[in-house]
Amino acid sequence: MTRTPVNVTVTGAAGQIGYALLFRIASGHLLGADVPVNLRLLEIPQGLKAAEGTAMELDDCAFPLLRNITITADPAEGFNGANVALLVGARPRTAGMERGDLLAANGGIFGPQGKAINDNAADDIKVLVVGNPANTNALIAQRNAPDVPAERFTAMTRLDHNRAIAQLAKKAGVTVNDIKKLTIWGNHSATQYPDIFHAEVAGKNAAELIADQNWLEGDFIPTVAKRGAAIIDARGASSAASAANAAIDHVHTWVNGTAEGDWTSMGIVSDGSYGVPAGIISSFPVTTKDGKFEIVQGLEISDFSRARIDASVAELVEERDAVAELGLI
């Protein structure tokens, strides 16, 4: 049976994440090895020529699943009929900046794109915001798309999730395959809280197995939370291939489901669970099935975890208030 192609829009297609992302979408890693895709590359006018070059290379791969490529600087055309939208296009930070410092530069991008999604995307649109500050940019896009169900707007904390899994696996001396139920709470920023208290290492509770509070507080949490800055310091540019990989993972898991006995982390519109104010876009532990996600409920939150979740959520509330002040939501 021939499946109907899925329309996937990528903004910032000519940027470094775009270059690492598009070839994997076209080769079937985003949605599945049997799902044909049409690519819509949305750029600003200055980025169109480079996007055309990338499209030439995509052609040259002769990907069996890639049906057609549209390149445009017009958001209405870029999001026309989109089933999946990856909002990557935004300025990256450089050394010495926090991601929140990008709010003024990037916030203005996401209102018009949210509106264009509202007016042009397919009814089943799923949106992942990657451009920083991702949670609050996702909030801006969501608030500008009143006809789209709020839960279709998500922000990427999967890179943090994957980073935390890698660090925990190293410490425990196991492979990443043995790590389950890791959670990133809060903002994709230095205040995020990577939580190992419910995580499992080969079926055993991670915090009890590691039993090393100094490592947890002095090494694991800051290493994960500040990894983006460490990459900028080492590479001279912000994470690209790992960010693209996380975007692929995020959407693949959303569409195809979490594994039995595991969950993932996604920035989603809070319903008030775990005391996170309803309406802000915060990272939670979620399970996914049939293209829908649910927050994992009933986890016991210790005082240690509570203080860290609250601090990150307080930052998200501040960011929400700042963009409200700027008239972006």
Of positions 14, 39, 139, 286, contacts ligand NAI by CB under 6 A: 14
Choices 128-136, 140-148, 217-225, 319-327 (CB under 6 A): range interacting with ligand NAI: 128-136
Can you tell me the distance from the alpha carbon of 329 to that of 327, in angstroms, rounded to the nearest whole number? 6
Instruction: Rule CB under 6 A: say whether 240 interacts with ligand OAA.
Output: no
Partner in contact with 70, chosen from ligand OAA, ligand NAI, none, beta carbon below 5 to 8 Å by kind: none
- Pull the structure tokens for residue 294: 């649910």
Partner in contact with 231, chosen from ligand OAA, ligand NAI, none, beta carbon below 5 to 8 Å by kind: ligand OAA
Instruction: Rule CB under 6 A: say whether 312 interacts with ligand NAI.
Output: no
From the annotation, which residues make up the binding site for substrate?
93, 99, 132, 163
Q: Which is nearer to ligand NAI, 154 or 172 (CB)?
A: 154
Of positions 38, 83, 106, 132, contacts ligand OAA by CB under 6 A: 132
Instruction: Rule CB under 6 A: say whether 158 interacts with ligand OAA.
Output: no
- Cβ(65)–Cβ(37) below 8 Å: yes
From the annotation, which residues make up the binding site?
12-18, 93, 99, 106, 113, 130-132, 163
Partner in contact with 131, chosen from ligand NAI, ligand OAA, none, beta carbon below 5 to 8 Å by kind: ligand NAI
SS (H, E, C) the chain: CCCCCEEEEEECCCCHHHHHHHHHHHCCCCCCCCCCEEEEEECCHHHHHHHHHHHHHHHHCCCCCEEEEEEECCHHHHCCCCCEEEECCCCCCCCCCCHHHHHHHHHHHHHHHHHHHHHHCCCCCEEEECCCCHHHHHHHHHHCCCCCCHHHEEECCHHHHHHHHHHHHHHHCCCHHHEECCEEEECCCCCCEEECCCCEECCEEHHHHHCCHHHHHHHHHHHHHCHHHHHHHHHCCCCCHHHHHHHHHHHHHHHHCCCCCCCEEEEEECCCHHHCCCCCEEEEEEEEECCEEEECCCCCCCHHHHHHHHHHHHHHHHHHHHHHHCCCC
Partner in contact with 14, chosen from ligand OAA, ligand NAI, none, beta carbon below 5 to 8 Å by kind: ligand NAI
| Residue 320: closest CA among 329, 309, 312 | 329
Q: Which is nearer to ligand NAI, 46 or 214 (CB)?
A: 46
Q: Which of residues 85-114 bind ligand NAI (CB under 6 A)?
A: 88-93, 109
Choices 43-51, 91-99, 167-175, 303-311 (CB under 6 A): range interacting with ligand OAA: 91-99
29 is an active site residue: no
Instruction: Rule CB under 6 A: say whether 305 interacts with ligand NAI.
Output: no
Name the minimum Å distance from CB 225 to ligand OAA. 10
Note the residues at the interface with ligand OAA (CB under 6 A). 92-93, 99, 132, 159, 228-229, 231, 238-239, 243
Note the residues at the interface with ligand NAI (CB under 6 A). 11-12, 14-18, 42-44, 47, 88-93, 109, 130-132, 134, 156, 159, 188, 238-240, 243
* Catalytically annotated residues: 188
